[in-house]
Amino acid sequence: MTTTIDLSGKIALVTGAGRGIGREIALTLAAAGAAVAVNDFAGEETCLAVVAEIEALGVRAICAMGDVGDEASVAAMVEKVETELGPLAIVVNNAGITRDNVVMLMSPDDFDGVVRTHLRGTFLVSKAVARKMLRRREGSIINISSVVGRRGNAGQANYAAAKAGIIGLTKSLAKELGARTIRVNAVAPGYIDTAMTQELSDDVRKAIVDATPLRAIGQPSDVANAVLFLASPLSRYITGCTLPVDGGLGI
Ligand code: NDP
């Protein structure tokens, strides 16, 4: 019996991987041997820097710029990845934005924008790869949700709705694709130390740590390791689940 995770020969796409959690996921999958397509929206330089870091590990990588909320952009991105790297076996829907406000002050544009990137983006990328994976009877799709999608959060109704939607999308897709051994799972991080959370005040950070049973803010590697497990054959009998990576905050 072996428990080593070896993804050599597998091709992975990670959206929003120029920085933060996505970057860490891309590096972690590459360290396990997968060739990785690094998607980002605006930051081509950061995307290329992640590609260089991956290549330094001795595996193939490409930068696949594109807007996950735009159907044509997603189609072009997936085509580029499969042409340049090969058939996708692992897809991580990680790209995301926040536009926080209480509902009474939230503009419809800020609601739509967040839902567009997270929920529509996850739908479009999953749709673009689903038929290809079905034909090959191989694939693991991992969607990044959030503890906020499970519990809601004042000031983040748009984000919470999108992240809750991702959980429903994950379960539905798992049911649609399971018969051909395509697995679809979600990861629900708690508060993770990235640019997205670095704007929080010290008081808010302390309140989060106090409410977290493990009494700490998580690191991008905590999420990346969960994604690695769900991408690997170690989780071959797991689909449709939402794995919390939140130090117990969601209990
Ligand atoms: P960051 O803000 O650090 O990074 C987000 C990434 O998504 C960036 O690379 C950004 O690209 C990219 N992106 C944004 N919009 C698009 C788009 N339309 N198309 C393609 N890429 C896009 O976020 P985190 O690393 O903190 O978060 C990553 C994921 O984890 C998100 O889904 C987030 O909601 C989720 N999450 C984060 C938590 C946290 O505490 N940090 C907690 C729970 C969930 P660019 O640089 O070009 O803007």
Q: Spot the catalytic one: 159, 165, 184, 227.
A: 159
Q: Is 23 in the pocket of ligand 1 (CB under 6 A)?
A: no
Select from 165, 158, 48, 171 the least CA-distant residue to 108. Answer: 158
Residue nearest to atom 28 of ligand 1 (CA): 21
Select from 151, 192, 194, 145 the least CA-distant residue to 170. Answer: 145
Given this model, what pLDDT does residue 1 score? 65
Quick: pLDDT tens for 2-24: 678 999 999 999 999 999 999 99
Residue nearest to atom 17 of ligand 1 (CA): 67
Q: Extract the tokens encoding 63.
A: 């930068």
Tell me, yes or no, if 159 is annotated catalytic: yes
Residue nearest to atom 19 of ligand 1 (CA): 67
DSSP for 106-149, please give it: --HHHHHHHHIIIIIHHHHHHHHHHHHHHHHT-EEEEEE--HHH
What CA–CA distance (Å, rounded) separates 91 from 124?
12
Strands 11-14, 35-38: pairing kind? parallel
As its CATH architecture, domain 11-239 has 3-Layer(aba) Sandwich (3.40)
Is the CB of residue 165 less than 8 Å from the CB of residue 111? Answer: no
Given this model, what pLDDT does residue 85 score? 98
Given this model, what pLDDT does residue 230 score? 98
Atom of ligand 1 nearest to the CA of 20: 25
Quick: pLDDT tens for 137-151: 999 999 999 999 999
Q: Among 41, 50, 74, which residue has the most ligand 1 atoms within 8 Å of its CB, making it the best to mutate?
A: 41
Q: Is 19 in the pocket of ligand 1 (CB under 6 A)?
A: yes
Q: Is 162 in the pocket of ligand 1 (CB under 6 A)?
A: no
Select from 235, 183, 237, 232 the least CA-distant residue to 7. Answer: 232
Q: Among 44, 70, 97, 209, which residue has the most ligand 1 atoms within 8 Å of its CB, making it the best to mutate?
A: 97
- Other Cβ atoms closer than 10 A to 191: 23
What CA–CA distance (Å, rounded) separates 92 from 126?
9
Q: Extract the tokens encoding 7.
A: 């993804």
How far from chain centre, in Å, is Cα 201? 25
pLDDT at 127 over 80: yes
pLDDT band at 198 (very low <50, low <70, confident <90, very high): confident
Given this model, what pLDDT does residue 75 score? 98
Select from 35, 16, 156, 150 the least CA-distant residue to 88. Answer: 35
Q: What is the mean pLDDT of residues 128-133?
A: 98
Which residues have CB under 8 Å from 67's CB, separation 6+?
A: 41, 73, 74
Q: List 140's β-bridge partners, or say none.
A: 90, 183
Domain ranges across the chain: 11-239
- Give residue 47 CA to ligand 1 midpoint distance, Å: 13
Q: What is the mean pLDDT of residues 181-202?
A: 93
Kindly report the average pLDDT of the chain as a whole number: 97
Q: What is the mean pLDDT of residues 176-204?
A: 94
pTM over 0.75: yes
